[in-house]
Amino acid sequence: MGRIYRKRRWLGVLFFFLTILLSWLLALFIKPPVSAQWGLTMNSAGDKPIEPIPLQLSLDSEKVVLGKQLFHDPKLSETNTISCASCHSLARGGTDHRPRSRGNKGQVGTMNAPTVLNSGFQFKQFWDGRAASLEEQIDGPVHDKTEMGSNWPEIIEKLSQSPDYVRAFDKIYDDDISANHIKDAIATFERSLYTPNARFDQFLRGNTNALTNAEKEGYQRFKAYGCVACHQGMLLGGNMYQKFGIFGNYIQDRGGESEADWGRYHVTGKAADRYVFKVPSLRNVISTAPYFHDGSAQTLDEAIKIMIKYQLGREANQKDVDLIIHFFQTLSGELNEVHS
């Protein structure tokens, strides 16, 4: 089994570099004034097609309502001051715009809070992918001393003192309030936080006028540089891991390395997984600054240049960066007004 695993891993690495090589060749020999002159289809990226976010999902509406109330309720924290929404504000793109979030008793966390928007589509949760589901993810911040600093018995006791909560849980789950029921309701609400019908989705569905010429050209630059080797699939990310710093050591150049920079190493204990993180989704990326696991990039301009240098081994042309940002502006979808 170990031999098969190593073989598959090397095949994955080989595919990644072949994708980048193809992108380099396209960028080197083809100057793309319009999309028709590029050798890539408009709906493909890496090995997984970019698909539009579904316009509708089938979710239990009563669980969504209960989950929304719990998501915004500070009683889930030790001091009754921190809610899920404190770090994942829906008015701020599902995050808090801080490099590192402030949690229980004003403590500063170790990681940048990723957006909760479209998190239900991600293949794993947390930057290091240590949680396999949204339900499992919720245990993390609830128990973390720097985040909510609480525990399920205390939370259940608080919620049980509310007749409204007792009635809501009895109606939906037919028994007493429990940790699993709380997590189920919150996770259902979080799955409802998807953002369909972005202009890019309209474009993928066949509306060629949904994007301007500059945005279409930015999409082509995005593909030609090789960004799609990792930012692929429906979310343009969120479906694979990658090392931060393939063509250079970004962490070393940034300075101040900490254990928070070790990524997947915390999960697997393997030296090869140090600095490896889940590739973030680019959906709604205009609204989710600062960027990266450490929040070290304050702007998209800075983030794109760092990615092109350290992930793709190239120096970014400013015009190309500006065009890619134009493309990123098409990735913001519509959050149902009931969530605002």
What's the pLDDT at 90? 96
What's the pLDDT at 19? 52
What's the pLDDT at 152? 98
- The pLDDT tens digits of the residues spanning 246-283 come to 999 999 999 999 999 999 999 999 999 999 999 999 99
Would you list the domain boundaries of the chain?
Answer: 13-54+196-339, 61-191
Q: Give the count of alpha carbons within 13 A of 91, CB side only.
A: 4
Q: Which of 62, 78, 136, 147 is catalytic?
A: 147
Helix axes 61-71, 179-191, angle to 10 degrees: 100
With a cut of 80, say whether residue 168 has pLDDT above it: yes
Same fold, 13-54+196-339 and 61-191: yes
Q: Look at residues 203, 204, 221 and name the one whose alpha carbon lies nearest to residue 50.
A: 204
What's the pLDDT at 32? 33
Q: For the whole model, what pTM was predicted?
A: 0.85
What's the pLDDT at 48? 59
The CA-based angle 109-294-237, given to 5 degrees, is: 115
Give the span between the Cα atoms of 19 and 121, in whole angstroms. Answer: 24
What's the pLDDT at 305? 98
What's the pLDDT at 46? 39
CB 278 within 8 A of CB 267: no
With a cut of 50, say whether residue 36 has pLDDT above it: no
What's the pLDDT at 24? 45
Two tokens, residue 329 = 């502006």
Give the span between the Cα atoms of 228 and 19, in whole angstroms. Answer: 9
- The pLDDT tens digits of the residues spanning 127-157 come to 999 999 999 999 999 999 999 999 999 999 9
Reply yes or no on whether 302 is catalytic: no
Q: Look at residues 204, 241, 227 and name the one whose alpha carbon lies nearest to residue 282.
A: 227
What's the pLDDT at 124? 98
- The pLDDT tens digits of the residues spanning 311-332 come to 999 999 999 999 999 999 999 9
- The pLDDT tens digits of the residues spanning 203-243 come to 999 999 999 999 999 999 999 999 999 999 999 999 999 99
b/e 29-66 (16+ beta carbons within 10 angstroms → b): eeebeebeebebebeebbeeebebbeeeeeeeeebbbb
The CATH superfamily of 61-191 is Cytochrome c-like domain (1.10.760.10)
What's the pLDDT at 49? 75
What's the pLDDT at 23? 46
CATH: 2.60.40.60, 1.10.510.10, 3.90.660.10, 1.10.760.10. Which one for 13-54+196-339?
A: 1.10.760.10
Average pLDDT value for the chain: 89
With a cut of 50, say whether residue 337 has pLDDT above it: yes
Two tokens, residue 146 = 């720097």
CB 192 within 8 A of CB 335: no
Confidence of residue 336 (pLDDT cuts 50, 70, 90): confident
What's the pLDDT at 232? 95
